[in-house]
A = this chain, B = another copy of it.
Amino acid sequence: MSTEEPPPQPRRRGFRTGRLEAFSDGVFAIAVTLLVLDIAVSANAGQHLLRSIADLWPSYLAYVVSFSTIGAAWLAHNAITEYLDRTDAAFVRLNLLLLLFVSFLPFPTRLLADYIGEDSPERVAATFYGISLLLTTTMLLVLWRYAVRARLVRPDLADEEIQLLTERLTPGLGAYLVLIVSGLFLPIIAVIGYLGIALYYIIPFRRLSANILPKRRRRDRIGPPDRG
C-alpha cells in the first residue's frame, strides 16, 4: 500500500526553488513585455501613418529577435530547473546575474531598432546587441554547468541527458561570436543570424524532450509539482 501513497522523494525542490522560479518568470515576462514600449511612430506621422507604420520594420525586427531570444532563454531556464533536484546559494546568485543580463536586453534592442539603416551606428548597435545576447547565453551555460558540477541535478537523470542539454546550450556561444564579428561588416545579416540562433534554441528543444522525457517513468515525470 505504501507504493500507492505519494512518495516523499518527489518533493525534490530544495532551497527556494519556488520563489527563484517565480522571480525569474517575473523578470523574463517583464523584460519581454517592456520591448513594446520602444516601438513608436514619430509625433508628426499623422498624414502618412501607413508608411510610418511600415517604416518601423527595424523596430519589429528587433522586437521579434529580442522576444525570441528571451523566450529561448526562458525555455532553457525551464529545462535547467526541470532537471534540478535542488538549488544552492551559489546557484541562486548566478541566477541573479543571468537576470541582470536579461533585464538589460531592452536597451540594446532599442539601440538596434533606432540605428538599423544608418551605416556607421548600425554596426555599433548590432555589435553591442550581439554582445548582450552572448552574455545572456553564456550565463545560461554557466548556470547549467554549475548545477551539474555542484550535483544539483536529479540523481535519476542519465548522463546522456545531462550531456545533451550541455550540447544544446554550447554551440550558441560560437555562433554568437561569429555573428558579432560578421556584424561589423554586415549588421543586418548578423541580426538575422541572432534570430536564427533563437529559433534554433526554441525549435529543436522539442526533439530533446520528445526523445528523453518519455524514457522516464510517466508518473515520475508528471509527479513533481512544477510550481509548488
Across the interface, which residues of B come within 8 angstroms of A203, CB to CB? 93
Chain A window 29-66, contacts with chain B (Cβ cutoff 8 Å), 1 for yes, 0 for no: 11111111101110001110110010000000001100
Q: For chain A, which range describes its interface: under 10, 10 to 19, 20 to 34, or 35 or more residues?
A: 35 or more
B225 touches A11 (CB 8 A): yes
Residues of B within 8 A of A23 (CB): 25, 28-29, 74
Complex CA distance for A12 and B18, rounded to whole angstroms? 15
CB <8 Å contact, B225 and A46: no
Which B residues are in CB contact (< 8 Å) with A15? 82, 209, 213, 221
List CB contacts (< 8 Å) of A105-126 with chain B.
105-107, 110-111, 115, 118, 120-121, 124-125
Q: In the complex, which residues of chain B have a beta carbon less than 8 angstroms from the beta carbon of A88? A: 206, 209-210
Q: Which residues of B contact A28 (CB under 8 A)?
A: 23, 26
Asked if A197 CB lies within 8 Å of chain B CBs, one says: no
B206 near A64 with CB under 8 A, answer no
Complex alpha-carbon distance, A209 and B208, angstroms: 34
Nearest Cβ distance between residue A97 and chain B, in whole angstroms? 9
**B residues less than 8 Å from A81 (CB atoms):** 19
Contact of A111 among B16, B49, B118, B121 (CB under 8 A): B49
- Enumerate chain A interface residues (CB-CB to B < 8 A): 1-2, 4-6, 8, 11-19, 21-23, 25-37, 39-41, 45-47, 49-50, 53, 63-64, 67, 71, 74-75, 78, 81-82, 86, 88-90, 92-93, 96, 99-100, 103-107, 110-111, 115, 118, 120-121, 124-125, 128, 202-203, 205-210, 213, 219, 221-223, 225-228
